[in-house]
Structure 1
């Protein structure tokens, strides 16, 4: 890449690779200046700009550190302007001489975006290294697209040919207000909002030769520690207008990080509802899914939920208690990533179901516009989880912005049936929870602003609304404000043609003591039931018929089974990865050999040996001895009417049937087991 650099010493042509570091590029620019003049340069005054003089946007040499030339937005042949002053250094601040081996200056901590270890130079913006930030694939995809809304030729208004274009058929920007209103889209997508911010910059800032400054700045409501001015002791001993947070005016968030939640299969929700129906207590589960593009919204993003994981919890009739933080999350996220690239923990879902007093067959309708959609406690929980799951992005100077962690609730609707509600806490809600300035109240529809304690600073909070006369009124939140200011709704749905990543749900769900438990005995029983009719050797998979292999592969395609086996220590780390790929081989044709690789592993051989040694696939006991044998023993021969029924036909006193394969008690009237899916008649 050829770049032209114009300085007071003249114009120089520099050839630099896009992969070169910013420090090397700075050295090349300094080497283009004669040595006699270079020795007199004040390093604090070095500036790089895309326009001559003060008309363009200039950055100090600090901004080049830790970055690649290819990430700075330069193009082949661009003209850059280097400015500096000669003479002794005019500031005692630490300088950034690109030719010196000094370490990089400290950058803002992502967890505390307003905390600086040293004051920045006046009039400059310190830029951290964003080259190592790995953005989700869906965001990378939308960055490569123009995002414009295509329109067909208007048969009435367009007066041109098929290849022409006019104001009535030209593509629209993804944030076009008329289109958004026409399609009744409440919020812009995250990528459309980001594209709108970038388009509002002046042409000089958006040119290819400018160093792009991230447009999103995370909101912080905490006091800066220490104060950038350095003119007073740290808070609470001192505070000024620079380090104290500004007053917050709550407003509707114009965008949302997630536009849609799609459940890959209805059985995902049905599994959570089954636990509530059997126990009458509420349950919570974490959404295991992936990001995908959502075409119904310009530059939209959706979460495709493939499975649930239920953590350890104590359910109650009107609530539940769950452990925080969730200690198993890193392990679950790791296993999910083995099953499918991009699969991970995307949100949470919980039940809030209460039977109606008037009709027990219907649910109470308690979350609606006249009461509340999400309570204050719901919102604080959502914001807390979102803070712990930030979105990695290069559009923020901290490398993180808000979150895509979504919250879903199963509750009753106006018809008394189950309905899914989905939402996200706003960026303002996240900042308020992170600063610890709000708390839940007895009234679920309002949030309370805390009173400042000793050594605390709580900024003023306002909210605006239209009164009964249609006038916009701004009110202080003293001490409460409505909870609807803190969340955005997210749509949800199911695919027309389901194609779930996991084909089976026969294995019990985890952490359900008293309802059903996971165990190796159950794994052996289920696998043994499949292999009972196998003509070949149990431990020699090469003798299995194709149908048996297909049944075993389908049985393995169970999220709860895969997660359980990966945590038992039977399979090595590499074998666990093969097991996860084998469970999703139908969705990845390139991994077609994963099942055969699993069958050839030592961990699988160990599992088959346990199956063979168990009683689950042994031959049935011999038939009853003939009547002559009973006569010889002096015992009356049993008649068919006096014989006990087979285990598969045994029934519990309540009419329920016991599965002969996994011993799970099934509801009466079923022909197959609810857990293992095998016939109840043997």
Structure 2
């Protein structure tokens, strides 16, 4: 394949083999550019310091993830890290994000790579079709203002269909439409900027670093909060009733609250223009100490392993869930309703937790200057409704909430429905914070948020449902992890009981079972991949290859000799 190298002297093309080391390409670069020695730098962006050629020489083309037609930049000069442009690096979920050049562990050629779903929605028009009405005065092939398609952000349509927040991609298209009307330039400028409420501790205006000095350049501007008009995810769909029911059973049996992680995928949601839904296939319960009125999360040592198993199945962490249930005492299965419009929906502590969790799972997008904006990670609480029934409620927090928590500007208060604005102290500078609301006269007014403001200004509400014809990836057969206090043990006897069911196509389709069996280390690497491919694709040939493999026979032998 051909790799292109650009330098001050122009562009050159180098023929390389995908399996060869990068030293072959570097030798050709040195010859064609007439470089006297190998003291030059390779980067994936202009004005970036990149990596010294010696650091890349022994890596293969495949390790560097280079592809036919890629462009690299050659320079025999280096820059300090403070002057260097940001470099794109890959995150753990396969997407890429922009990080500081001084922290790049290795060269990564790929540019910002968002989810395929986001690429598809970027290309989609999203217009809302309308039928010919009685107001139309044209033929069947004509179109007028009464029947022309509506944009996906049309306020009247959203209100008519009781859609509280427009979708993220509808919001993007609205911004781009507005920008295109103002600026006819053909060049594309990313319309989104992540909110940042932190003071710049490395200001270059010539004064001493804060708190010894401050200027208008490094000082964050006053913040005006208002409820976010769009949401990153519009809907949460549970693949089957059993996914949620098995999770709630922990509370039913013990009365103790429970925490879990949603594993699933993101899909298009057709009930909202350009909408996105998170499909939850499994709930993994990490180590935790459960109490009647709360949960203490413990160290989750095998999180990376669980994530890798999920990734092999085309899944990822899409959210978190916890219970807040109290029996009504009426002996009819009803529970108390503690969360409503006159109390709170998410408490201030839960909002802070949701903000930190969303920051750990950034949404990768090419429409942001930084390559990321907010998050698709959702927060679900299982609680009681006004009828005393158990139901899930799903939320996200706004991009402003994430920025406030990152800047350490807000904290919990003694009132669960109020967020406390912190005081300026040490290296923490808290700007003026206001929030906009509609008063009793229907007018929008601005109020000072100090010392505290309502949690609702940081919340975004999502919808949830179960499919009418469920086709879940998993069937629950195996004990759920970290439930030893309930007598639910994951051990060889449990594995044996599941496999003795006889129907491997059902027995193996359990996320908790897969994680436990693969963690045992009995199955070889290739057989583990065969197992995961079978669960993902349901190919009977893969199943036959698995059950006839040597490592599977070893597993069965171990089970036969277990108590």
Rounded Cα–Cα distance in structure 2 between residues aligned with 1:204 and 1:414 = 48
Superposed CA RMSD: 2.8
Match of 1:437 in 2: 409
Rounded Cα–Cα distance in structure 2 between residues aligned with 1:261 and 1:584 = 21
Indicate conservation of the 8 Å contact 1:115/1:226, yes or no: no
SS of the residue 1:314 aligns to:
strand
Which of 457, 467, 472 is the aligned partner of 1:495? 467
Rounded Cα–Cα distance in structure 1 between residues aligned with 2:331 and 2:452 = 36
Rounded Cα–Cα distance in structure 2 between residues aligned with 1:410 and 1:449 = 28
Indicate conservation of the 8 Å contact 1:406/1:423, yes or no: yes
Aligned residue pair count = 490
SS of the residue 2:283 aligns to:
strand
Rounded Cα–Cα distance in structure 2 between residues aligned with 1:25 and 1:192 = 42
Q: Aligned runs of 1:435-514 on 2, under 5 Å?
A: 435-502=407-474, 504-514=475-485
1:426, CA displacement in angstroms?
0.5
CA 1:428 to 1:472, structure 2 compared with 1: closer, same or farther past 3 Å?
Answer: same
1:139 and 2:118 aligned:
yes
Provide TM-score, normalisation by structure 2: 0.81
1:419, CA displacement in angstroms?
1.2
Which of 399, 404, 416 is the aligned partner of 2:371? 399
Rounded Cα–Cα distance in structure 1 between residues aligned with 2:319 and 2:184 = 35
Match of 1:607 in 2: 555
1:260 and 2:235 aligned:
yes
1:164, CA displacement in angstroms?
2.3
1:575 and 2:550 aligned:
no
CA 1:19 to 1:100, structure 2 compared with 1: closer, same or farther past 3 Å?
Answer: closer
Rounded Cα–Cα distance in structure 2 between residues aligned with 1:295 and 1:372 = 30
Rounded Cα–Cα distance in structure 2 between residues aligned with 1:570 and 1:304 = 31
Which of 198, 207, 223 is the aligned partner of 2:199? 223
Indicate conservation of the 8 Å contact 2:226/2:437, yes or no: no
Match of 2:169 in 1: 191
> CA-to-partner distance for each residue in 1:583-610, whole Å, 9 max, x for gaps?
2333xxxx44221221132221111223
SS of the residue 1:275 aligns to:
helix
CA 1:115 to 1:438, structure 2 compared with 1: closer, same or farther past 3 Å?
Answer: farther
CA 1:601 to 1:186, structure 2 compared with 1: closer, same or farther past 3 Å?
Answer: same
> CA-to-partner distance for each residue in 1:84-138, whole Å, 9 max, x for gaps?
xxxxxxxxxxxxxx99543475235899x999999xxxxxxxxxx9952221111
CA 1:594 to 1:488, structure 2 compared with 1: closer, same or farther past 3 Å?
Answer: same
SS of the residue 1:170 aligns to:
coil
Rounded Cα–Cα distance in structure 2 between residues aligned with 1:251 and 1:585 = 45
1:251, CA displacement in angstroms?
0.5
Q: Aligned runs of 1:50-89 on 2, under 5 Å?
A: none
Which of 139, 153, 166 is the aligned partner of 1:175? 153
Q: Aligned runs of 1:280-359 on 2, under 5 Å?
A: 280-323=255-298, 326-339=300-313, 341=314, 343-357=315-329
CA 1:19 to 1:139, structure 2 compared with 1: closer, same or farther past 3 Å?
Answer: farther
SS of the residue 1:514 aligns to:
helix
1:183, CA displacement in angstroms?
1.6
SS of the residue 2:558 aligns to:
helix
Which of 524, 539, 542 is the aligned partner of 1:594? 542
Rounded Cα–Cα distance in structure 2 between residues aligned with 1:286 and 1:523 = 23
CA 1:438 to 1:568, structure 2 compared with 1: closer, same or farther past 3 Å?
Answer: same
Structure 2, unmatched stretches of 5+, are 12-43, 49-72, 90-96, 103-107
Mean CA deviation greater in 511-520 or 570-579:
570-579
Rounded Cα–Cα distance in structure 2 between residues aligned with 1:144 and 1:274 = 43
> CA-to-partner distance for each residue in 1:283-329, whole Å, 9 max, x for gaps?
010000000000011100000000010000011111111136x4433
1:467, CA displacement in angstroms?
2.9
1:203, CA displacement in angstroms?
5.6
Rounded Cα–Cα distance in structure 2 between residues aligned with 1:115 and 1:571 = 37
Indicate conservation of the 8 Å contact 1:390/1:403, yes or no: yes
1:499, CA displacement in angstroms?
0.7
> CA-to-partner distance for each residue in 1:330-349, whole Å, 9 max, x for gaps?
2212101212x2x1111001
SS of the residue 1:490 aligns to:
strand
Provide TM-score, normalisation by structure 1: 0.67
> CA-to-partner distance for each residue in 1:221-257, whole Å, 9 max, x for gaps?
1112311x43212222211001111111111111110
> CA-to-partner distance for each residue in 1:57-88, whole Å, 9 max, x for gaps?
xxxxx99657xxxxxxxxxxxxxxxxxxxxxx
Match of 1:274 in 2: 249
Structure 1, unmatched stretches of 5+, are 1-17, 29-61, 67-97, 119-128, 531-547, 616-682
Rounded Cα–Cα distance in structure 1 between residues aligned with 2:536 and 2:138 = 51
Indicate conservation of the 8 Å contact 1:385/1:405, yes or no: yes
SS of the residue 2:296 aligns to:
strand
1:560 and 2:519 aligned:
no
Indicate conservation of the 8 Å contact 2:374/2:402, yes or no: yes
SS of the residue 2:342 aligns to:
coil
1:265, CA displacement in angstroms?
0.2
Select the structure of larger CA radius of gyration: 1
Between the two structures, name the one with larger relative contact order (CA 8 Å, sep ≥ 6). 2
Indicate conservation of the 8 Å contact 1:353/1:412, yes or no: yes
Rounded Cα–Cα distance in structure 1 between residues aligned with 2:517 and 2:184 = 52
CA 1:115 to 1:408, structure 2 compared with 1: closer, same or farther past 3 Å?
Answer: closer
Match of 1:214 in 2: 190
Indicate conservation of the 8 Å contact 1:114/1:224, yes or no: no
